[in-house]
Structure 1
Amino acid sequence: MRIVMQPASRAKKVVNKHYLDTIANPVVIDTYAHLLDAQVADQLRTLFPDGSAPMWGVAPGKRDVNVSKIKKMRPGDWVFFTGESKVYFGGTIALTWRSQPMANELWAADGDGSTWEYMYALSGTQGFDIPIQEVRDLLDWNPKRNVMGISVLSEDESDSLQTLLTLDPATAKASPVDLQEEEAAIAGFDGELERKAQRAQRGEQAALKRRLLPGNAGECALCGRELPGAFLIGAHIKKRAFCSDGEKRDLANIAMLACTLGCDALYEHGYVAVAPGGAIQVSPLASTIPEVAAHIQAHLAGRTVAWWNPSREPYYHWHRTRTFKDVPPS
């Protein structure tokens, strides 16, 4: 999975109108099907059975400067919209296609007479509130670098950003897999198969577990169930990889007990979060996975987390704005 950075400043009137017209208000597929190849229209109907999809487009640019970047975009890749010095929206590319007539109908043309004809539909969309400076620091960019044009991140940069945000692929047209290529890559792999944890990290984790679970049993901070210690882990409220040294040493506040019976995974993947005051916040995307929705309804819905306090709120806030699958901005 690669990550695409899509500049789209909503402070610009025309960009905001496009966002409202085709992202905040998904495009009704059958209204524009006559402007599409029949195969593309059928694929869209299959991918979006409710009949509408959030859509965006990219113009070729002067001397087709954007075309080589666009050709790198694949279904299953993530797109992040940036503007006003932050990442504010994202989703999985479900399908890509080219249609000048449809782009003209949706967005007209720019000042140069071109339109945003390289189009894509998004699934699993969600809102973010991540300062672009945090992305710069994570990817070791120049401190003044901005996302000026559409760009496809390298695999290493994509992996780093995916780790920050715990991105889950949404419904998308599967890319074909070359089995021979996959097998050759595995057979030819000569990298390190095992990595030893550093002693300091092991010591920190042991101290954290002892603090959170002094006995043989404990209570999951999220669902409140009393469980044997074997079913509880010391889960970082804010991802450890992005904690400062001081935060890692804040053993009283940086982590909570979470059960391995579902709560840890739901929190880690952003289907639940903890709101200010401790109320469990449920992602609207949870309803798209019946098993996830059922677990949340049975064990988490309506609960208030007793583990929340003002000292831990900054860590919960980090999780809400980086990992929680929030609704897209309207």
Structure 2
Amino acid sequence: MSKSKRLMELMMTVNRMRKFTVKELAAEFGVSSRTILRDLQELGELGVPLYSEVGPHGGYQVLKERILPPIAFGVDEAAAMFFASHALRHYLSLPFEAESSSALQKFYYYMPGDVRDRIDEMKNRVDFHARDRRQKVDCLGLLLEAAVRQRVVTIRYGSKKEDSERSIQPVGIYASNGFWYCPAYCFLRRGFRLFRCDRIESAAFDETGIEPLDHRHVHLGNWEEFGRKERIDVRIVAELSREGVQRCQGELSHVPHIEVREDGSGRLDQRVPESELPYFAKFFLGLGGEATVEHPERLVADIRRLLAELTAKYGTM
């Protein structure tokens, strides 16, 4: 095996292993311990963060901030990776803000000149827009870490009604319409709730000793199923024009269940938490004639009340 090939495979091997000894690597690659020591020194000079420990139980290990082995990309694959990361610039806050910027700079810098030229030509031709929100969120990294490690977080949360301190166990985080959201188990409410991250005024890992729940089976794809067991749902039925369908699909935080007809109009039929009816009353009022709510009667009554308030406010002008 040539030296260059051995170094490449050695880099991939040490990235894969948590801890190793020179003797183990020498046996795996069929070379002397002295050769492996020289190879490890070269990997260190190339940037692989190796750490050594002496003693009978010593050896080598790669530090937490490991580097990945080289990956070969085609021209179109490189462009796809670049723009996937480039699109994140529209978000004021990211859970890995500094890292994504650093990775993008490295990725672009080491591309061949012709690939950089191709990407430069495409920058003004393709984009992925997110709604421009000016709310800065500083706790995204902590919430994501808590979700991955099954940790409890203490937050100060500013809702529409009041500020409160809560202990939550995050499921994950996701972005929608420019906002970041965190589904989490709330120990105060004893159930799953959805928190808007820009309303979290402070967040820190819990130090009171609350025992985390085993939620390894709960994730962003199924958390609502668990939350539905604890909440009261109501069924909303509404007729939608073509524009109404498009606005519901584009503006509601969760993709609604709409039966779309050939002419583009449709019928929304979906169950939602009862607590969200005030939001839907304002939403459907904003759609005007593009939507006709048929059920529930409480939602229709809320829309009428809002309309009467607006009429009283503007009718005398």
TM-score, reference length from structure 1:
0.24
TM-score, reference length from structure 2:
0.25
The structure number with the bigger radius of gyration is: 2
* Structure (1 or 2) with the greater helix fraction: 2
